[in-house]
């Protein structure tokens, strides 16, 4: 016996099928993109080819492709643009185990990467996202005394006795009022303030030479440093100022890689992003903007733009 569907049931079934198609199409698009990128390996795939693979129309912009990449990155995939500024994008996908990336914090991932190398588990190291050049067989483990730490005892005594410590570093003599000594990122650092300089700086102990320790009590008090801000853009060298940049959305990962996460990011017309940074070390900011080249433009403030132009004119000798 055939029971005819009522009109409401039929419409509901049609709606469910339509919703299923809408949900299936984006997933199929991501699968196609991942498969093509994976097959290409290190050589990458041009953006124009990926637009066709995704099924986008000829009048669609590369913003549509960027949205797909954001979905993949949130799932743990690493996708990089191999092209230089102003060249057509060529995208490369790095294979890895996205499950591990999602379940582990950054510190846990780093610890597991080190353990994988020490255990000679190159397969696990690759799944964790290590570059192939650093995945090498480990035949023997040898514990060696680190070089360049013959001055560590003097550095610690300078902190304990509140004594000025003098040494050569990066080609010039220093007289430092010590704040603290700390082991971070596999290095020993002395934090302190040089004479006539209010900024607290960090010195790698293994790079010191001609170390001389002053009398106890000769140093002025400097607040201890709990966590080292080793990235130059975090150094408190200048009065804080907010610098605004504009970059194409496809170059945003490069901007973050060189300048770290911005204070604010806003999507703009034409597939661009406007990002704002709090700058406390202008020289370091200028140096990294030069590395980014034409991938970014400085919108403001005007005084920073003029400072940047003056620096470029000085380097060009004009």
Pick the range with the lowest mean pLDDT from 3-17, 191-205, 267-281. Answer: 3-17
Please write the tens of the pLDDT for every residue from 127-150. 555 554 444 444 443 434 455 577
Could you tell me which residues are beta bridge partners of residue 296? 247
- DSSP E strand boundaries for 131-195: 165-169, 172-184, 187-194
What percentage of the chain carries pLDDT values higher than 90?
Answer: 8
pLDDT of 234 strictly over 50: yes
pLDDT confidence of residue 275: 92
Across the range 292-306, mean pLDDT stands at 89
Which stretches of the chain are DSSP H helices?
Answer: 7-40, 47-54, 63-74, 98-103, 106-118, 122-127, 152-161, 252-259, 282-292, 302-316
- Whether 75 contacts 53, CB under 8 Å: no
Residue that has been written with the tokens 């994976």 in this structure:
38
Written as one string, the DSSP assignment of 193-223 is: EETT--SEEEEEGGG-EEEEE--TT-SPP-P
Q: CA angle, corner 223, sides to 217 and 226, nearest 5?
A: 125
pLDDT confidence of residue 58: 67
Could you tell me which residues are beta bridge partners of residue 94? 78
Q: How many Å from the N-terminal Cα to the C-terminal Cα in the chain?
A: 93
pLDDT confidence of residue 14: 54
Please write the tens of the pLDDT for every residue from 83-95. 776 778 888 886 5
pTM, to two decimals: 0.34
Please write the tens of the pLDDT for every residue from 24-70. 777 788 788 888 888 888 888 888 888 888 888 767 666 778 888 88
In degrees rounded to 5, what are phi and psi of residue 282? -65, -40
Q: How confident is the model at residue 96 (pLDDT cuts 50, 70, 90)?
A: low
Strands across the sheet containing 264-268 = 264-268, 272-279, 241-248, 296-300
Look at 209 and 236; give whichever has higher pLDDT: 209
pLDDT of 152 strictly over 80: yes
pLDDT of 173 strictly over 60: yes
State the helix-helix crossing angle for 7-40 and 47-54, rounded to 10 degrees. Answer: 160
The torsion region of residue 199 among left (phi > 0), alpha (psi -120 to 50) and beta comes to: beta
């Amino acid at each position: 016996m055939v029971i005819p569907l009522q009109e409401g049931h039929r419409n509901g079934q049609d709606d469910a099928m339509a919703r299923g198609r809408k949900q299936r199409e984006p997933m199929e698009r991501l699968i196609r993109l991942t498969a093509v990128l994976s097959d290409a390996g290190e050589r990458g795939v041009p953006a124009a080819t990926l637009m066709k693979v995704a099924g986008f129309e000829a009048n669609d912009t590369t913003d549509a492709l960027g949205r797909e990449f954001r979905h993949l990155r949130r799932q743990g995939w690493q996708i990089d643009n191999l092209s230089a500024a102003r060249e057509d994008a060529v995208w490369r996908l790095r294979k890895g185990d996205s499950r591990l990336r999602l379940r582990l914090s950054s510190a846990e991932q780093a610890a597991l990467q080190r353990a994988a190398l020490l255990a000679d588990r190159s397969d696990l190291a690759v799944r964790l996202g290590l570059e192939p050049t650093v995945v090498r067989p480990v035949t023997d483990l040898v514990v060696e005394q680190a070089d360049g730490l013959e001055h560590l005892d003097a550095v610690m005594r300078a902190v304990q006795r509140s004594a000025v410590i003098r040494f050569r570093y990066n080609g010039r003599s220093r007289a430092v009022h010590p704040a603290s000594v700390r082991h971070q990122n596999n290095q020993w650092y002395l934090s302190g303030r040089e004479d006539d300089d209010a900024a607290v700086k960090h010195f790698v102990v293994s790079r010191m030479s001609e170390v001389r320790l002053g009398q106890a009590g000769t140093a002025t008090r400097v607040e201890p440093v709990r966590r080292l801000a080793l990235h130059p853009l975090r150094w408190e060298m200048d009065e804080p100022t907010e610098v605004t940049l504009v970059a194409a959305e496809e170059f945003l990962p490069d901007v973050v890689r060189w300048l770290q996460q911005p204070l604010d990011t806003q999507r703009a017309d034409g597939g661009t992003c406007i990002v704002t940074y709090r700058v406390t070390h202008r020289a370091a900011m200028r140096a990294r903007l030069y590395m980014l080249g034409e991938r970014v433009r400085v919108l403001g403030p005007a005084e920073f733009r003029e400072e940047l132009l003056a620096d470029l004119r000085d380097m060009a000798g004009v």
